[in-house]
Amino acid sequence: MRLVDRLRGGLARTREVLETPLQDLARGRRPLDTEALEQVEQALLGADLGLAAVSEALEALRERSSEIAHGGLPAMRALLRAELVRSLERPGAGRLPFSTRPWVVFVVGVNGAGKTTTIGKLAAAWAGEGRSVLLCAADTFRAAAAEQLEVWSTRASASFHRGAEGADPSAVLTDALRMAKAQGKDAVLVDTAGRLHTKSNLMAELAKMARVAGREIEGAPHETLLVLDATVGSNGLAQGREFAKAGGVSGLVLTKLDGTAKGGVAVAVVRELRVPIRYVGVGEQVEDLLPFDAAAFADGLLGA
Mean pLDDT for 107-134 is 93
Q: Is residue 108 part of a domain?
A: yes
Q: Is residue 283 part of a domain?
A: no
Q: Is residue 24 part of a domain?
A: no
Give the pTM.
0.86
Q: Is residue 139 part of a domain?
A: yes
Going 110 to 112 to 116 to 117, the CA torsion angle's sign is negative
104 has pLDDT over 90: yes
Predicted local confidence at residue 1, as pLDDT: 47
> Is residue 278 classed exposed, middle or buried when 0-12, 13-18 and 19+ CB atoms within 10 A define those classes?
buried
Q: Is residue 200 part of a domain?
A: yes
Q: Is residue 63 part of a domain?
A: no
Mean pLDDT for 142-151 is 90
Q: Is residue 111 part of a domain?
A: yes
Provide the CATH number for the domain around residue 115: 3.40.50.300
72 has pLDDT over 80: no
Q: Residues 209-264: pLDDT tens digits?
A: 999 999 999 999 999 999 988 877 666 677 777 777 765 788 999 888 765 556 77
The better pLDDT of the pair 196, 185 is held by 185
Mean pLDDT for 191-195 is 85
Q: Is residue 228 part of a domain?
A: yes
Domain tally for the chain? 1
Mean pLDDT for 132-137 is 98
Cα torsion 67, 71, 77, 81 to 10°: value is -50
Predicted local confidence at residue 16, as pLDDT: 65
> Distance of CA 47 to CAs 28, 43, 150, 232, 261, Å?
23, 6, 37, 12, 9
Q: Which domain holds residue 242?
A: 103-249
197 has pLDDT over 60: no
